[in-house]
Structure 1
Amino acid sequence: IGRARFPNTKSLDTFDFSFQPSINRQEVLEFQNLAFMEKSENLIFIGNPGVDKTHLAISIGIEACKQGCRVLFINCHELLIRLRAAYEKGLLDRSLSRYSRYDLLIIDEIGYLPIGHQEANLLFQLVNARYEKHSTIITSNSDLSAWVDIFQNPTVTAAILDRLVHHVHVVKITGKSYRLRGLK
């Protein structure tokens, strides 16, 4: 769990499903059995800021660690910085190999910051390297249809989405922000 680099510890036991009624509780709880990983399927959690997409991703990731899986949690922006640095140093193949070996890669916060053409290409290469081999969990504040605006390249966006959604469970959370629930 420590090597997975989670920003904090979360579990599905502490997730307030009553505050997010748009979520199919049973579907999310079943992700704990990791059957999606046995099939190399992906999970994408989509929703506005504060609906606890990251909580769900961390919870499933921690359960995967407990069951002996190699997991890495990384913010999308940090991942892209690392991939770009590896590319510039001529170490991209090595870096892609490292990230593609994780049983579960959790990429948090796609869509919070714009992604340049070069970074979109690098992300495509990573998604392609993991395709049908290992599972990826992604959190995003943007619907998949808006990803073309994030990646600023329709061709690369289509290629990324094609591989991610071929075997995917999309959980769209339409509830309110936990952080703002005390405000009127």
Structure 2
Amino acid sequence: MPSPDRLVILDRDGVINHDSNAYVKSLAEWIPYPSAIQAIARLSRAGWSVAVATNQSGIARGYYDEATLAEMHAELNWLVAQAGGEIAHIAWCPHGPDDGCNCRKPLPGLLEQIRVVLGMESLAGSWMVGDSLRDLQAGESVGCRGVLVRTGKGEQTLAKHPALADSGSATHIFDDLSGFVDWLLAQRQP
């Protein structure tokens, strides 16, 4: 069981892989950022647990099915393993915005699933890394520290919510996942 201060939860599209306004609908369209795969592996090798929490409403919209999503996640796990890392759990929400589920971010259901699967009492003090306000809101609701990356929709999020970049904001902002991991691992040096 990881301790909360050694857990990093990642959004998927826009953080680990390129996002698309037309949805990432196939393994061929799932294009990871090489630096993100390496960043996840670096975290694992440094003793951190990494989980993924991802909204996948394209399933509810009929753009792809759960088997296709499983192919994408198998490729993600394989690439991270090839780089020497591991993803502890991938939680995903297949629902659309009007389905009334409790797992679609900004609701905390996906993060609660991660907490239960990893056998943790709390996620307070963990990190939630995303490219949208709803990622940060989901993390905040369970006590995670928020990180916004500029990849994916991150720049748009900053443009819509400039207060995130204020000096008094609790949100940490980085160019990409690799930049956050560089910073985080430097903080943990003796």
Where on the TM-score scale, by shorter chain, does this alignment land: which range?
Answer: 0.3 to 0.5
The structure where helix makes up a greater share of residues is 1
- Give the TM-score normalised by the residue count of structure 2: 0.34
